[in-house]
């Protein structure tokens, strides 16, 4: 198996575990700890708050270090943290604040690990094949999204939600060991004296003064904000509508849609162009949240449509910024955009929970999906509409 093959396998294994935990942690919160919609929003925000707090610094650090050791360390660190959940649950010591703290810690390690991951890929794949590699990774993530929640639902039913989280801990440990087997020549960046604020400004200028990257980044930030609002309301809505097991099947339906969307995304990109492909994908994702409000079984159809949209547009914005960004700025570019993207969840998730508690879960999903659609269409009014 080649370098990319092992790199892909490590990511795939950890991805399967992550989707198991996606279901298990939310079931723990809603069922075992009786969390409200607002508390689910707080839990979701905790996962992404490190991106908002430390994201820009993470980009500087990733550009200063070799990326393979960072991926290994963050994988093993996440394995240890996630193992805390079943351990505390076994002694009846798991509480909602502790769950939030563990999720925050996993998010902090994921921040550095993800920035290193996206910045490492251009080192092992030719730039001409980056689209192909990102589509393969996206399709694998979709398969994991399809089967991971189903596996998670089965583990929850047989072993309980806390023990299902242990599967994710094991997956991160295996991923870290696989990355350790990669033999890639990776020289340490120039040790010349640097100033962290200067490097931060350089990364921010690259993204937000770039004629094409800037509108793509801002549009993505808005999409994440409104998606978080709708997604937070979706969790208690689905649990109460189709049950915890149904939530797993709903996430699986989204995975099926993402696989289908990824299968035709390159062909769609060649026919429509970059901007229209991304906009179409985001409009379909927004429509998915509206569709699931039309009836109980529509929960699955809505998630299927959501996944289809993600599969259409997912690989292309990542590939675009990887191809236009020089290697020395890869860490800062990826971390800057991801930090504000995921940071928007820390605002949108609690806001969606509040709307869900104070008005209705339906209202939160309608507001979120409407915002997603507006943010998508606005991208066509920017210079990015001509991007290649």
Structure tokens belonging to residue 348: 């949108």
Burial of 45 (0-12, 13-18, 19+ CB in 10 A): buried
pLDDT average, residue stretch 346-371: 90
Closest of 280, 308, 287, 312 to residue 376, by C-alpha: 280
94: phi then psi, degrees, rounded to nearest 5:
-80, 130
State how far the alpha carbon of 22 is from the alpha carbons of 14, 77, 113, 151, 278, in Å.
12, 18, 18, 11, 25
| Domain spans, the chain | 3-181+193-386
Gap between the Cα atoms of 303 and 309, Å rounded: 10
> Using one digit for the tens of pLDDT, what is the confidence trace for 23-41?
788 778 877 777 777 787 7
What does CATH list as the number for 3-181+193-386?
A: 1.20.1250.20
> Using one digit for the tens of pLDDT, what is the confidence trace for 224-249?
999 999 988 888 888 888 887 788 78
Identify the residue with better confidence: 233 or 195: 233
8 A C-beta contact, residue 161 and residue 28: yes
8 A C-beta contact, residue 78 and residue 109: yes
Predicted confidence (pLDDT) at residue 344 exceeds the cutoff of 80: yes
8 A C-beta contact, residue 317 and residue 220: yes
Sign of CA dihedral 174, 330, 387, 132: negative
pTM over 0.85: no
pLDDT average, residue stretch 303-323: 84
Tell me if residue 79 falls in helix, strand or coil.
helix
> Using one digit for the tens of pLDDT, what is the confidence trace for 255-306?
788 878 877 888 888 888 888 999 999 999 999 999 988 877 888 999 999 9
pLDDT average, residue stretch 94-98: 86
pLDDT average, residue stretch 307-329: 81
């Amino acid at each position: 198996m080649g370098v990319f093959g092992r790199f892909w396998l490590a990511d795939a294994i950890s991805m399967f575990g992550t989707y198991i935990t996606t279901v298990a942690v939310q079931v723990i919160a809603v069922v075992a700890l009786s969390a409200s919609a607002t508390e689910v929003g707080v839990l979701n925000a905790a996962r992404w708050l490190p991106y908002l707090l430390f994201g820009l610094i993470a980009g500087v650090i990733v550009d200063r270090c070799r990326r393979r050791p960072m991926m290994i360390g963050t994988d093993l660190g996440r394995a240890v943290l996630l193992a805390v959940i079943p351990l505390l649950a076994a002694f009846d010591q798991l509480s909602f604040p502790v769950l939030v703290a563990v999720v925050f810690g996993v998010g902090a390690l994921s921040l550095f690990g993800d920035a290193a991951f996206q910045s490492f890929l251009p080192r092992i794949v030719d730039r001409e094949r980056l689209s192909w590699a990102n589509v393969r990774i996206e399709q694998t993530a979709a398969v994991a999204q399809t089967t991971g929640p189903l596996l998670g639902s089965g583990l929850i039913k047989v072993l309980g939600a806390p023990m299902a989280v242990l599967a994710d801990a094991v997956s991160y440990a295996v991923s870290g060991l696989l990355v350790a087997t990669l033999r890639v020549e990776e020289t340490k960046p120039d040790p010349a004296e640097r100033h962290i604020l200067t490097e931060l400004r350089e990364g921010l200028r690259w993204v937000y003064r770039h004629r094409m990257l800037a509108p793509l980044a801002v549009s993505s930030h808005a999409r994440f904000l409104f998606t978080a609002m709708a997604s937070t309301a979706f969790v208690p809505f689905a649990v109460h509508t189709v049950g915890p097991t149904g939530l797993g099947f709903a996430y699986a339906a989204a995975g099926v849609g993402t696989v289908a969307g990824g299968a035709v995304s390159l062909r769609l990109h060649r026919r429509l162009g970059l901007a229209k492909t991304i906009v179409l994908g985001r409009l379909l994702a927004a429509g998915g949240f509206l569709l699931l409000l039309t009836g109980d079984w529509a929960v699955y159809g809505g998630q299927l449509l959501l996944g289809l949209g993600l599969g259409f547009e997912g690989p292309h914005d990542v590939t675009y910024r990887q191809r236009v960004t020089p290697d020395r700025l890869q860490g800062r570019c990826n971390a800057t955009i991801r930090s504000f993207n995921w940071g928007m969840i820390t605002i949108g998730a609690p806001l969606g929970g509040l709307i869900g508690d104070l008005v209705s879960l339906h209202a939160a999903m309608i507001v979120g999906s409407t915002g997603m659609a507006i943010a998508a269409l606005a991208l066509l009014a920017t210079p990015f509409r001509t991007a290649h």
